[in-house]
């Protein structure tokens, strides 16, 4: 099982709770934050509350792990990071409140989750995708030592941008391969 909390100095990752819904809604309803997301900009909080409830079952089953990114002194969600495990591989994804962009928080959180995943002897590959125009996320992944493996054509619909699937870069870090 993954740690329920990562204490990382300037930030802390912890499992989300129902009381995080309003803070998550705040950044999830920002069109700039949701620009490259594979879900539409949040317009109501109710689906988010239901999603938070389902994350407990996903955690318990080992299907997916979600953490909110917080600043320790505030303990308010400023972003989120998830890790979905499938056999020998783990997919990571992250999102951060626009107010906290450019401060290294996404890189710190992603690096911690990637390192945790690769410390599990059953996980050999950690991977992520990002829209080909999302240069900020691509840079975070590169700083976390994931290498761009290629472009996935028409991979994901980004509802804030188009109903047509868009290209995405595929990044991965593989244990035992340099």
pLDDT for 66-118, tens place per residue?
A: 999 999 999 999 999 999 999 999 999 999 999 999 999 999 999 999 999 99
As beta bridge partners, residue 13 has: 6, 69
Write down the pTM of the prediction: 0.94
Q: What is the pLDDT of residue 159?
A: 93
Q: What is the CA radius of gyration of the chain?
A: 15
pLDDT-flagged residues of the chain (< 50): none
What's the CA gap between 18 and 16, in Å, rounded? 7
pLDDT at 41: 86
* Residue 178 confidence (pLDDT): 65
Terminal C-alpha separation, the chain: 27
User: Which DSSP symbol is given to 19?
Assistant: G
Burial letters for 7-37: b for 16+ Cβ neighbours within 10 Å, e otherwise? eeeebbbbbbeeebbebbbbbbeeeebbebb
Instruction: Answer yes or no: are the C-beta atoms of 110 and 81 closer than 8 Å.
Output: yes
d(CA 70, CA 72): 6
């Amino acid at each position: 099982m993954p740690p329920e909390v990562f204490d990382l100095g300037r930030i802390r990752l912890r499992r989300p709770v129902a009381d995080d819904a309003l803070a998550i809604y705040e950044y999830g309803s920002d069109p700039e934050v949701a620009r490259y997301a594979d879900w539409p900009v949040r317009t109501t909080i109710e689906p988010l509350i239901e999603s938070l409830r389902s994350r407990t079952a996903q955690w318990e089953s080992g299907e997916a792990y979600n953490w909110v990114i917080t600043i320790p002194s505030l303990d308010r969600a400023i972003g989120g990071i998830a890790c979905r495990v499938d056999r020998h591989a783990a997919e990571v994804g992250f999102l951060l409140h626009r107010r906290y962009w450019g401060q290294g928080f996404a890189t710190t959180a992603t690096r911690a989750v990637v390192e945790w995943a690769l410390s599990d002897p059953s996980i050999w590959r950690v991977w992520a995708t990002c829209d080909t125009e999302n240069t900020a996320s691509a840079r975070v992944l590169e700083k976390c030592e994931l290498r761009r493996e290629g472009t996935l054509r028409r991979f994901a619909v980004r509802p804030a941008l188009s109903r047509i699937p868009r290209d995405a870069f595929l990044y991965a870090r593989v244990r035992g391969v340099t």
